[in-house]
Amino acid sequence: MCRWLAYSGSPILLEELLYKPVHSLIDQSQHSRMGVETTNGDGFGIGWYGVDDSVALPDTRRSDVPVLFRGVGPAWGDLNLRELARSTSSGMFLAHIRASTGTPVQQTNCHPFRYDRWLWVHNGAIAEFGTLKRDLVLAVDPALYPAMAGSTDSEVMFFLALTFGLRDDPVAAVERMVGFVEAVARRHGVADPMQMTVASTDGERLWGFRYSTVGQSRTLYVSTALTALRELYPDNPVFAGLDDETRIVVSEPLGDLVGAWNPIPESSYGVVEAGDDTLGAFTPREP
């Protein structure tokens, strides 16, 4: 399985979340506490939306397409990741460390996956993916098909979600994607096919999903609203500097601060956006 982290809020250096916390994502790459494996050493990736640098030249403006940095070695020893994390700021990014469930360790299998403005990370697996893969891939919109570059279940899930409308109605699209995978699995006699926590974003809003067919999903947590945290810990300078709407969604908490992390309930989704966030029930439906 894997571990991932999603951030939405005031621009911060990536290292603030990837390296500095006691149980940072890099620490989780060797010492995951809640994952299926303690080691997540089969590659990693970050995808981020740039902070406007107001650079001098008109033709060098940053595009809306998020930037990807993905490597096939363990995150804990990657010197380039260390350098980028100390020099890159972003107000919206996804990070992922991978523990392969069988598909090759290669850059095209590292999360986040990207399509246009969209990013996607996944922890979990589709059961007996080799058996189901052909039927799943055939359902991907032929116009999207050439953009699939790797061989993971996670990427196929992303492209099925795109096929089912991710860009228009993300929650409904992911519900249809899961409903479709479960229907294909039934046809092949594969029980309990879906196990997932997923984050996806278009750079403006952030969606998180926690679901498994069997009803025992991998863990997922969201940071408590900063206004609440500031009341609890009025002297903490990090909380003081961040925008009220800053949120972190993670496979497992980055530390042991009481009250800082809320588990996301079984079979639910959340949306982090300007104004109040949303939490709702996640109900797969066949498309």
Q: Catalytic amino acids?
A: 2
| Among positions 22, 105, 191, 279, the unique one binding a copy of itself when judged by CB under 8 A | 105
CA–CA dist 87, 79 (Å, integer) = 13
Of 107 and 278, which has the nearer Cβ to a copy of itself?
A: 107
By the rule CB under 8 A, 34 interacts with a copy of itself: no
CB 243 within 8 A of CB 9: yes
- Does 150 sit near a copy of itself (CB under 8 A)? yes
Give the one residue of 70, 96, 176, 210 binding a copy of itself; rule: CB under 8 A. Answer: 70
22 is an interface residue for a copy of itself by CB under 8 A: no
Cα distance between residue 29 and residue 21, in whole Å: 13
Please give the residues from 44 up to 63 whose contact with a copy of itself meets the rule CB under 8 A.
50-51, 53, 55-60, 62-63
Residue closer to a copy of itself by CB (options 136, 157) is: 136
Choice from 19, 36, 38, 257 touching a copy of itself (CB under 8 A): 38
Per-residue string for binding with a copy of itself, 176-195, x by CB under 8 A?
A: --------------------
Report the residue from 22, 64, 116, 149 that binds a copy of itself according to the rule CB under 8 A.
149
Shortest approach of a copy of itself to residue 50 CB, angstroms? 6
DSSP assignment of the chain: -EEEEEEEEEEEETHHHHTSSTT-HHHHHHH-SSSSSS---S-EEEEEEEPP---S-GGGPPPSSPEEEEESS-GGG-HHHHHHHTT-EEEEEEEEEE--SSS--SGGGSSPEEETTEEEEEEEEETTHHHHHHHHHHTS-TTTGGG--S--HHHHHHHHHHHTTTTT-HHHHHHHHHHHHHHHHHHHT-SS-EEEEEEEE-SS-EEEEEEETTS-PPP-EEEPPHHHHHHH-TT-HHHHHS-TT-EEEESS-SS--TTSEEEPPTTEEEEE-SSS-EEEE------
Angle subtended at Cα 113 by Cα 112 and Cα 119, rounded to the nearest 5 degrees: 75
Q: Of 151, 219, 267, 283, which one interacts with a copy of itself (CB under 8 A)?
A: 151
Q: Cβ 190 to a copy of itself, closest distance in Å?
A: 13
CB of 143 to a copy of itself, least distance (A): 10
User: Which residue in the set 3, 4, 8, 42 belongs to the binding site for a copy of itself (CB under 8 A)?
Assistant: 42
Among 19, 34, 36, 73, binds a copy of itself (CB under 8 A): 73
Can you give the binding site for a copy of itself, defined by CB under 8 A?
10-13, 16, 30, 37-39, 41-42, 50-51, 53, 55-60, 62-63, 67-74, 77, 79-80, 83-84, 86-87, 89, 100, 104-108, 130-131, 133-134, 137-138, 142, 145-146, 149-151, 237-238, 241-243
